[in-house]
Structure 1
Amino acid sequence: MTQKTVLLAEDDASIRLVVNQTLVTAGYQVRATSSADALERWVRNGEGDVIVSDVYLGDTAIFELLPSIKLARPELPVIVMSGQNTILTAASAARHGVFDYLPKPFDIDQLTSLVGRALKAPGKKDALTSAALKDKSEGSLPLIGRSDPMQEVYRIISRVMNTDLTVLIEGESGTGKELAAIAIHELGSEQDGPFKALDLAAMSTDKISKDLFGTPDEPGIAFDPGATLYLDEIGDLPAEAQTQLVKLMREAGGARIIASTRQPLSKLVEEGKFREDLFYRINVVRIFMPPLRQKKEDIQELVRAFLLRAQRKGLASKQIEPAAMDLMMAYDWPGNVRELENLIMRLAALSPDAVISQRDVERELRAEALKDIASTGSFESEIESLLHRYVMADLLQASPDDSRIHQSVMEQVERPLIKLALSVTSGNKLRTAALLGVNRNTLRARINSLGLADD
């Protein structure tokens, strides 16, 4: 069997060396370059069976070369590597008909596997109609973040945006489910109609029916080919509307449906609250929007974007001091990206200084926490509720001389308290001890005892 040749284009010498050696070890011939001109010349000369290229070769983007590459060798598969890691990169890769998009850093074995699959797969058709992307910039795109969880979101969006497949977007409130739906609609070439979002939880059955299905004189948006119908919180859809939606989805030629849910639909099916046939019609392609606590490396980029958004709304330009950013990185954001955006907007509006301080962030987070306590009860009552849930059974079964329960509860309260204080002070143990009102040596002993020394 003839040995296959990989054309490797990468301007980072260390990455080029590692990828080259790995592909050679896997049994491929490799021609490697950092030059866009050399890559184009090899393609025109008929060399190579697959291209593996970084997005940028010097000042030249691979997407600028792909039209001529596709014209000369339309069946030549292309794998794009990117350190940019944004949804626009993934969307551009999909729109230009590349075989796959691989964000850096990546598993070298994953790249080898992709090369093997690309060589076996039939060539993709030319997909260079890029009208939906030509006016896009990173700042205009709805989704922000370069973390690994967001890369998976981008990869799935890039695969479904040019199809009419039904998509189910799962995730907690505030994670950006509707923004993902908007990205699928705006970046897709097939959806040239309107984007219509329906908040099902806030609508009556009659209103849902009218908006979806219309009247005898005026059909609803569900029958508009090219439109995208976003059904927010489909788990809250009333039984009658579920039946109507099933009927609609049996008919061809209607709007594309993207649904979202904060609660697992499979559980609702088991409980008899959601139609099983509707679940299987909705559950074609699934996207999970990660909570902010699972992608904290995106917080700095999100904060910068929200500050720019505030400035565009007429608020004064603001910056964030490092200690304030550290505090936001330590917080778990139960309201997710929506909570972070609301905080930044409040700080941009209310902070009198050009630089938002750690104290400003502390004040706003504390105010929100007090609101939560006021709406749910006192802090002590919250603790009491947790003790009833997690400790009552142990107390009922414990013997009179069992001292482990008290020690266990104290440790489970003390450990997150010390972790939170350390995160607020960026690991400064002297400041942490002062914040907690304990001796520094006592704090050091508790950190070691609670297993926090290596955290």
Structure 2
Amino acid sequence: MNRRILVIDDDESVLWVIRKALEPSGYDIEAKTTLKAGMKAIDGFRLVLLDMMLPDGSGLDALKEIRVFNPDALVVMITAHGRMESAVEAMREGAYDYLEKPFDIEELRIVVGKAFRDISLRDELTSLRQHKEEQKTSPMIGKSKGILKVFKEIGRVAPKDVTVLVSGESGTGKELVAKSIHNNSPRKFGPFVALNAAAIPKDLLEAELFGWEKGAFTGAHEKNPGKIQSADGGTLLLDEISELDINLQAKLLRFLQEHEYSPIGSTRTVRADVRIIGATNRDLKDCVRNGQFREDLYYRFNVIEISLPPLRNREEDIVPLASHFLAETSRLLDLPPKELSRDAQKALREYDWPGNVRELENTIKKAALLSQGNLIERKDLFAETQNASVRDFLEGKLNGFLKQMKKLESSNLYDTVTMEVEKALFAIVLKETEGNQVKAAKILGINRNTLAKKLKLYHMV
């Protein structure tokens, strides 16, 4: 671990004392006399000694910025004698400690030594926690353009203590993204708590989120801290936030702004230090337009949005994901090693996966359990699909297309879908009959002239 310290102070006598006290103990001191220069140099430093007042600005404002953009750095504030109010405010804003001028050299050594011991302990805990998380959390796998963009966005937002919105269809892995953000953030030492708003009755959701006092309502026999308090110091994932009641949205907005709330049945105010990540499979802009979601809360959540692509747009990721799920299932259930046949891999790539990664994982688990031998074939993957009705088949294939078409106010949906289905059907049958329209019409069960007219209409001849 490096023992570099950034000192931002314009008092040369203070800089001299700090160097004299710390450099003989092996600390590497870099000094800057302005906030602008200090903030430019801060990357890579784990400990910052920051003066409360500098020629070009307030150290307190700089502290707030460091907490957001360099949250791994510990900040010790240097205050003038008699400015205890500022010191208290700095501690409230997340300063590690403070030193009052003129400070004692031994006190400086003690504070700095304790800071680096805490940094070392944090790094050790992070390593242990990451190892534990790797064992229990599925890794994010993929090399498609869409998922690589998601990986980059996670890396960009994880260190910044800001609200994030994760959007995507059901089953695309929104909770996995939220966990990845948490595990790569300064909050990785704290808890990760998930709450699915769609899975809890709306009249109970406020109590589940903010907690309640004993006797607050019928059945409240014991005090409950709520999910926000349970996530204090960590991250709270609010899944399906579009399902929040409009009145509850107002209370959540206040918490995001003030970091405080009142449990149900209580008049006291509770503070909590929680990073909120929202997730949704709906278009929140539409929800705002329809009056289902507060506009001010939308903008609060939409500081940064990470949009997950559906699995059908990640064709090159399907087989690697399937192989991972197969290996994991075999390991967890103590099954003999199995592989996917080439035909099975082709079938996986051809299917549209309306249930996305979750559906793929469940399909592979089922195939691993029910297949005979060590090779999984197409029939093992889609045994039920092969017997499915035409309607079920089309619903799966058209799912994504219909979602996009429904966004348009006037999409001529019936004619468009009918035309596309007919074109695809004619193309498949003509390929099978090597272009013989008579045979094709017979297979289709329609008149030869009808087929010819349709082919001409669709410019297929």
TM value normalised by structure 1? 0.56
User: What residue number does 1:201 align with?
Assistant: 198
- Say if 1:296 and 1:249 are closer, same or farther in 2 by CA, change over 3 A: same
User: What residue number does 1:275 align with?
Assistant: 294
- Say if 1:409 and 1:237 are closer, same or farther in 2 by CA, change over 3 A: closer
User: What residue number does 1:151 align with?
Assistant: 148
Deviates more, 1:339-348 or 1:188-197: 188-197
The answer to whether the 8 Å contact 1:95/1:129 transfers is no
**CA deviation profile, 1:136-156 (whole Å, cap 9, x unmatched):** 769954321111101111111
User: 2-side partners of 1:298 and 1:218: how far apart?
Assistant: 43
Aligned to 1:292, which of 308, 311, 335? 311
**Structure 1 SS opposite 2:188:** coil
**CA deviation profile, 1:327-368 (whole Å, cap 9, x unmatched):** 110111111111111111111111123211123334233356
Aligned to 2:345, which of 325, 338, 361? 325
User: What residue number does 1:310 align with?
Assistant: 329
Amino acid at match of 1:318: K
**Structure 2 SS opposite 1:191:** helix
**Structure 2 SS opposite 1:332:** coil
User: What residue number does 2:369 align with?
Assistant: 349
Amino acid at match of 2:258: E
Aligned to 1:212, which of 203, 209, 212? 209
- Say if 1:340 and 1:421 are closer, same or farther in 2 by CA, change over 3 A: farther
User: 2-side partners of 1:192 and 1:214: how far apart?
Assistant: 23
**CA deviation profile, 1:16-49 (whole Å, cap 9, x unmatched):** xxxxxxxxxxxxxxxxxxxxxxxxxxxxxxxxxx
The answer to whether the 8 Å contact 1:221/1:255 transfers is no
RMSD, matched Cα: 4.5
Amino acid at match of 1:178: E
Amino acid at match of 1:221: K
- Say if 1:338 and 1:140 are closer, same or farther in 2 by CA, change over 3 A: closer
1:162 paired with 2:170, answer no
Matches within 5 A, 1:427-446: none
User: 1-side partners of 2:340 and 2:274: how far apart?
Assistant: 43
Matches within 5 A, 1:303-452: 303-314=322-333, 315-367=335-387, 372=392, 390=412, 412-417=420-425
Amino acid at match of 1:317: P
**Structure 2 SS opposite 1:338:** helix
Aligned residues: 300
1:250 paired with 2:270, answer no
Residue identity over aligned pairs, in percent, reads 36
Aligned to 1:232, which of 217, 229, 239? 239
- Say if 1:305 and 1:409 are closer, same or farther in 2 by CA, change over 3 A: closer
The answer to whether the 8 Å contact 2:191/2:232 transfers is no
Aligned to 1:182, which of 179, 182, 185? 179
- Say if 1:234 and 1:306 are closer, same or farther in 2 by CA, change over 3 A: same
User: 2-side partners of 1:254 and 1:432: how far apart?
Assistant: 67
Q: CA deviation at 1:411?
A: 6.0
**CA deviation profile, 1:394-452 (whole Å, cap 9, x unmatched):** 7xxxxxxxxxxxxx988632443477799xxxxxx679999xx859xxxxx99999799
Amino acid at match of 2:170: S
Amino acid at match of 2:253: V
User: 2-side partners of 1:187 and 1:151: how far apart?
Assistant: 16
**CA deviation profile, 1:246-296 (whole Å, cap 9, x unmatched):** 121122353110111111111111111111111111111100010001111
- Say if 1:237 and 1:409 are closer, same or farther in 2 by CA, change over 3 A: closer
Matches within 5 A, 1:58-73: none
Amino acid at match of 2:250: T
- Say if 1:419 and 1:202 are closer, same or farther in 2 by CA, change over 3 A: farther
User: 2-side partners of 1:312 and 1:229: how far apart?
Assistant: 31
Deviates more, 1:209-218 or 1:332-341: 209-218
Amino acid at match of 1:240: N
Deviates more, 1:210-219 or 1:317-326: 210-219
User: 1-side partners of 2:273 and 2:344: how far apart?
Assistant: 49
The answer to whether the 8 Å contact 2:166/2:308 transfers is yes
Q: CA deviation at 1:163?
A: 2.5
**CA deviation profile, 1:199-251 (whole Å, cap 9, x unmatched):** 10121234322222112455433244322111110001112221221121122
Unpaired runs of at least 5, structure 1: 1-69, 72-93, 98-125, 377-381, 395-407, 423-428, 440-444
TM value normalised by structure 2? 0.55
Q: CA deviation at 1:194?
A: 1.5
Amino acid at match of 1:343: T
**Structure 2 SS opposite 1:190:** helix
User: What residue number does 1:3 align with?
Assistant: none
User: 2-side partners of 1:371 and 1:316: how far apart?
Assistant: 37
User: 2-side partners of 1:205 and 1:390: how far apart?
Assistant: 36
- Say if 1:432 and 1:296 are closer, same or farther in 2 by CA, change over 3 A: farther
The answer to whether the 8 Å contact 1:234/1:259 transfers is yes
Amino acid at match of 2:283: P
User: 2-side partners of 1:431 and 1:341: how far apart?
Assistant: 37
User: What residue number does 1:14 align with?
Assistant: none
**Structure 2 SS opposite 1:185:** helix
Amino acid at match of 2:232: P
User: 1-side partners of 2:179 and 2:250: how far apart?
Assistant: 26
**Structure 1 SS opposite 2:327:** helix
**Structure 2 SS opposite 1:263:** coil
- Say if 1:357 and 1:95 are closer, same or farther in 2 by CA, change over 3 A: farther
User: 2-side partners of 1:327 and 1:452: how far apart?
Assistant: 27
Deviates more, 1:141-150 or 1:341-350: 141-150
User: What residue number does 1:222 align with?
Assistant: 228
User: 2-side partners of 1:167 and 1:338: how far apart?
Assistant: 22
- Say if 1:368 and 1:345 are closer, same or farther in 2 by CA, change over 3 A: farther
The answer to whether the 8 Å contact 1:174/1:336 transfers is yes
